[in-house]
Structure formats: structure tokens, C-alpha cells
Amino acid sequence: MNPKDDEIGHVTLAGVNIFEELGFEPEEAASLQAESDARIAAMIEIKENLMTEIADWIAASELRQSEAAVRLQVSRPRVSDVVNKKVSKFTVDTLIEMVQRIGKKVQVAVV
């Protein structure tokens, strides 16, 4: 193995526009960053909505997290992550599957 394979050549600091770091012109970099931020925000909103459905179901069913975990076919810590809206720990697909396991249908609308 080449010793340089383990070396990190460059680290982009948090809050820095990655597109500028990649060499895009400032205007284009700003536009790309804004588009990226909007897509991320939209994905977070979708995940939070799905998590709210699951958390509301748990509350309405008066289930303990361990009981909900059995019904959702996940571990109890995963239920805790849903209830606490740890969106980075889930894909949309996983959350949709969990919503379907509680007997709800998920519809996708393109507007």
C-alpha cells in the first residue's frame, strides 16, 4: 500500500462553499450551493414528516419504544432515533417502509 493513500490532501471547512473549493466561478458556485441547500432542506422535511407519522402512531397507540420496535421490525434504539428525529440516521426508503408497517400508505406528489 502506498503511504500516501492514507493521507488527506485537502479538507473543506464547515460553512465553506464546496463548489468554490472545486473551482467554480463565484456566481455559479453560489447558485450551485443554494440549489444543494434547497435539496437537502427538502429531503430533511420529507424525513421529518415521515418520522412524525411514526412518532404520532407510537403515542396514539400508547406503545413503549420496545413494543413499537417489534411492530416496526427495528431495534429499540432505532425507534428512539425516529422519535428524536435524527434524520441523518435514516433514508427516505427506510422511513417509508416503517410507515407502511404501521398500516399507513405513503403517497408521493410532484408539484
Q: Strands (DSSP E) along 41-106, which ranges?
A: none
Closest CA to 66 of 53, 50, 83, 51: 83
Question: What distance in Å separates the CA atoms of residue 109 and residue 67, rounded to the nearest whole number?
Answer: 32
pLDDT computed for residue 44 by the predictor = 96
Per-residue pLDDT reduced to its tens digit, 70-90: 999 999 999 999 999 999 999
Per-residue pLDDT reduced to its tens digit, 39-76: 999 999 999 999 999 999 999 999 999 999 999 999 99
pLDDT computed for residue 2 by the predictor = 58
Question: What distance in Å separates the CA atoms of residue 105 and residue 97, rounded to the nearest whole number?
Answer: 10
Kindly state the helix (H) or strand (E) to which residue 33 belongs, with its residue range.
Answer: helix 26-60
